Structures are given as structure tokens and as C-alpha cells.
């Protein structure tokens, strides 16, 4: 549901996000709720923990929910300090052994949400981790979050409150309190937006369908910056059909190798897109972690959801879709600044002339991802069961 009368602040990378987050936590009077896939006990993780403990010392109720796989190594020492300070923290689906190829073990908490006092929320793709906590210590991860003030905060709060209750119920199998509710915040601005959740019950395809609608409605331009890009058959053809009707389609993808299988699997799709008029740019200045898009400078989305099987058919995700020309234009301009200053374009002819072994690695990576997707029973749902895709992309 599109909610009007919000004030939305686009935050780029950790240097903009974490000061805003820490200021909001330090101003908390009643409650702080935080969800994250990763939480490292580095300089950022410790700074956030200190702010959470200060809030708890003031009598603020503090809830922290971390994914049981992504944050499985959450520092025991830091966890003990948080608990001693009165911070309530839990793991979502804690891992107690090797990850097995079973559906319920692969359903992770990948969203990154924070709500303070039911009046300000943060939605985006930025984990609680310092920028220099990465292989090779490159410069900042390229990523985004949105600070939300206004009525939409009520929906974000309801989402984190409900998930905390579900986790508590799964631990004890007893009715537990969901915690306090807050009134719907008053109008804070003029921007309209909607919260897009993805789960395996009520909102299985909500993020993907929002993309489809925006792509179908596009008249001039579609710009997507996505860290792990491995779309299913329907998504691929929605983009190429847009390109064939004259819409400019621009993909800004990961240029650095962070996870080899995902990287090479994405490379396998390059020829399909390039031969159908889609522009591809690889971001190389640092690790690309963004999951954002802009259509016609009037619709934009920012959030945690990649365009791959993990995000679109397995994990809990949260994006915000913004229906505001000023916000969308701002994000558009920032993406193109990153594209001009930190990316290189992939051209059709050089891709076709790549050495055979690199193309073989690409198809091997793609085959592994497809096989893993099929093993957990999601191949048909993700559109990979249609044999036409192989014939058209080879």
C-alpha cells in the first residue's frame, strides 16, 4: 500500500548511514528495534552496541534480531555485554551445525531494518559492519539506506514487531508479548512510498512483482544497481522486452570478485542481455553491495533484496518503493556518478571474444547455482525450469 506524507532521506554508504543511525539510537526514549543479516564486532559494530547499551541504561527497551547464519559468529563477549546491559537479542533460525540443503535452513533473515520510538525507521541494504572489514580492505562498500519519518514508519514497526514475536514463539511455543504499539506518526513530508516485504507466507512475490510493474510501465529508462544479479526467466525477459520497445536499460553490477560462484554465474547472462540492447557496467572502485533501481526518474526502490534466487525465493527481505520524482532523480544521479567514476562498460564484441575458459567458468557457475536452486525445490518457481532459457542464452 502506498503511504503518503513521509520525509525520506537517502543515505549513501556507511559514512552517511551510521552517524544518522547512531544519532537516532542516542535520541531514543522508549524503544529501539534492530534487524540485520551481518553484525561484526568491529569499530562500527562496537559503536552501535555502545549506543544500544546507553539506550538500555536510560530505560529504553532494546530488541536486536540477527540472522543465525549470517551472524552465526556474533561475538560471544559482545553478546554477553549486551545481555548484561539489558538489551534483548536473538538469532533468527540459529545454526547449530553444518548448513543442510533443506528449504527451512536456507530461509534466512536478510533484511536490514531499524525502528526507533515508532517515529523514525531505517530501511536499506547496509549491515552492521565497518567498510574496512572486507577482503583486501577496499574503500567503502557502495550501498544505500533510507531514513523514513512519517506514517510509513508504522508499517516498518509492525513488521519488526511481528517477526520478533514469531521468533519468541518458536523458542518457547508459548504466547509472548509483541511489545508496545505506537500511534501512526503524523505527516512529516510530502513523499509517498510503500514497504515491500518478502517472506515465505503472505508476501512471497511482492518485491519481484513491484519490479515487474515498474518495468512494464517504463517509458524511457530503467536503471538497476544490484550486487548479486541472477534474475529468473521472467525477469530477464521483462528487461529485454523493455529494451526492445525503446526503453534504455542500464545494469550496474559487481566488478570485483567477492563470491566466485555468484560472480561467474552472473557473467553467463551477459551475452543474453548485451545482444538484446541492455547496457552493462561493472563497478570496480569497491565492493558493490547496493540493491537499488530507478525507473523514469519517478519510481525508485532501495532495500536488502538482490535479484537472485536467494533473495527472491528464499530469504526474508525488505525494500522501500518510493513514488517521488525528487527522490528518484537524486538516486538516479548518484548511480550515474558511481557509473561514470567507478565503473567500466561491458561491450558486446569483447564479451564474445573472451577466452573459452572464462566462458566455461561462467556457465559452470551458472550451472551450480541452478543445480542448488533445484535441489531445494525452487527451480520451477524461479523460472529456471523453462528449457527455452538455455537455448536462447547459449
Write down the pLDDT at residue 259.
62
Q: Is pLDDT above 50 for 384? A: no
Identified catalytic residue from 67, 143, 199, 296: 296
pLDDT band at 391 (very low <50, low <70, confident <90, very high): very low
Q: List the grid coordinates of 89.
A: 537479542
Please confirm, yes or no, whether 289 is among the known catalytic residues.
yes
Write down the pLDDT at residue 215.
98
Q: List the grid coordinates of 5.
A: 506524507
Write down the pLDDT at residue 124.
98
Please confirm, yes or no, whether 110 is among the known catalytic residues.
yes
Say which residues have a Cβ less than 8 Å from residue 137's Cβ, sequence separation at least 6: none
Distance, CA of 32 to chain centre: 21
Write down the pLDDT at residue 265.
74
Q: Is pLDDT above 80 for 366? A: no
Average pLDDT, the chain: 87
Q: Which residue has the cell 513523499?
A: 191
pLDDT in tens, 312-354: 888 999 999 999 999 999 999 999 999 999 999 998 866 666 6
Identified catalytic residue from 110, 140, 157, 332: 110
pLDDT in tens, 235-284: 999 999 999 999 999 999 998 866 666 766 777 788 889 999 999 999 99
Give the mean pLDDT of 56-75.
Answer: 93
Give the mean pLDDT of 210-223.
Answer: 98
Max intra-chain CA distance, the chain:
64
Please confirm, yes or no, whether 117 is among the known catalytic residues.
yes
Q: Is pLDDT above 50 for 22? A: yes
Identified catalytic residue from 91, 112, 263, 332: 112
Write down the pLDDT at residue 348.
80
Q: CA 44, CA 46: separation in Å to the nearest integer?
A: 5
Identified catalytic residue from 67, 91, 117, 143: 117
Write down the pLDDT at residue 216.
98
Say which residues have a Cβ less than 8 Å from residue 365's Cβ, sequence separation at least 6: 260, 261, 262, 263, 264, 265, 266, 267, 268
Distance, CA of 220 to chain centre: 25
Give the mean pLDDT of 219-227.
Answer: 97
Q: CA 296, CA 219: separation in Å to the nearest integer?
A: 7
Distance, CA of 154 to chain centre: 20
Please confirm, yes or no, whether 26 is among the known catalytic residues.
no
Reduced to 3 states (helix: H, G, I; strand: E, B; else coil), residue 254 is strand
Identified catalytic residue from 91, 291, 308, 332: 291
pTM for the predicted model, two decimal places = 0.90
Identified catalytic residue from 263, 289, 324, 332: 289
Taken in order of first residue, the domains within the chain and their CATH numbers are 3-189 (3.30.870.10), 205-393 (3.30.870.10)
Q: Is pLDDT above 90 for 136? A: no
DSSP 8-state assignment for residue 132: T
Write down the pLDDT at residue 393.
39
Number of residues that make up the chain: 394
Write down the pLDDT at residue 82.
97
Say which residues have a Cβ less than 8 Å from residue 310's Cβ, sequence separation at least 6: 106, 108, 110, 228
Q: Is the CB of residue 163 less than 8 Å from the CB of residue 90?
A: no
Write down the pLDDT at residue 310.
84
Amino acid at each position: 500500500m502506498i503511504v503518503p506524507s513521509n520525509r525520506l532521506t537517502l543515505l549513501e554508504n556507511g559514512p552517511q548511514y551510521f552517524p544518522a543511525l547512531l544519532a537516532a539510537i542516542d535520541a531514543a526514549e522508549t524503544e529501539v528495534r534492530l534487524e540485520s543479516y551481518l553484525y561484526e564486532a568491529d569499530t562500527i559494530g562496537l559503536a552501535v552496541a555502545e549506543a544500544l547499551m546507553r539506550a538500555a541504561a536510560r530505560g529504553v527497551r532494546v530488541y536486536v534480531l540477527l540472522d543465525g547464519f549470517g551472524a552465526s559468529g556474533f561475538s560471544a563477549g559482545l553478546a554477553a555485554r549486551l545481555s548484561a546491559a539489558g538489551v534483548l537479542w536473538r538469532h533468527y533460525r540459529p545454526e547449530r551445525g553444518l548448513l543442510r540443503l533443506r528449504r527451512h535452513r536456507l530461509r534466512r533473515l536478510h533484511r536490514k531494518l531499524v525502528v526507533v520510538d515508532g517515529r523514525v525507521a531505517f530501511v536499506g541494504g547496509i549491515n552492521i559492519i565497518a567498510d574496512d572489514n572486507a577482503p583486501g580492505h577496499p574503500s567503502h562498500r557502495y550501498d544505500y539506506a533510507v531514513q523514513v519519518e512519517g506514517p510509513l514508519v508504522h508499517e516498518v514497526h509492525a513488521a519488526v514487531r511481528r517477526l520478533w514475536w514469531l521468533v519468541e514463539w518458536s523458542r518457547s511455543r508459548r504466547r509472548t508479548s509483541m511489545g508496545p504499539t505506537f500511534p501512526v506518526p503524523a505527516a512529516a513530508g510530502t513523499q509517498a512510498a510503500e514497504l515491500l516485504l518478502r517472506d515465505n507466507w503472505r508476501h512471497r512475490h511482492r518485491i519481484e512483482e513491484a519490479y515487474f510493474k515498474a518495468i512494464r510501465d517504463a517509458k524511457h529508462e530503467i536503471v538497476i544497481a544490484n550486487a548479486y544479479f541472477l534474475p529468473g526467466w521472467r525477469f530477464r525477459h521483462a528487461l529485454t522486452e523493455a529494451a526492445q520497445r525503446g526503453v534504455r536499460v542500464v545494469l550496474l553490477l559487481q566488478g570485483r570478485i567477492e563470491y566466485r560462484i555468484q560472480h561467474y554465474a552472473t557473467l553467463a547472462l551477459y551475452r543474453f542481455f548485451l545482444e538484446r540492447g541492455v547496457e552493462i557496467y561493472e563497478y570496480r572502485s569497491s565492493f558493490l553491495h547496493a540493491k537499488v533501481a530507478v525507473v523514469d526518474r519517478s519510481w525508485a526502490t532501495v532495500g536488502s533484496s538482490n535479484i537472485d534466487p536467494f533473495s527472491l525465493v528464499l530469504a526474508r527481505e525488505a525494500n522501500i518503493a518510493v513514488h517521488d520524482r525528487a527522490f528518484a532523480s537524486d538516486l538516479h544521479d548518484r548511480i550515474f556518478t558511481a557509473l561514470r567514476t567507478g565503473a567500466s562498460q561491458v561491450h558486446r564484441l569483447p564479451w564474445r571474444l573472451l577466452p573459452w575458459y572464462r566462458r566455461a567458468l561462467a556457465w559452470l557457475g551458472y550451472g551450480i547455482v541452478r543445480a542448488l536452486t533445484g535441489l531445494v525445490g525452487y527451480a520451477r518457481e524461479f523460472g529456471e525450469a523453462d528449457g527455452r532459457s538455455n537455448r536462447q542464452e547459449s
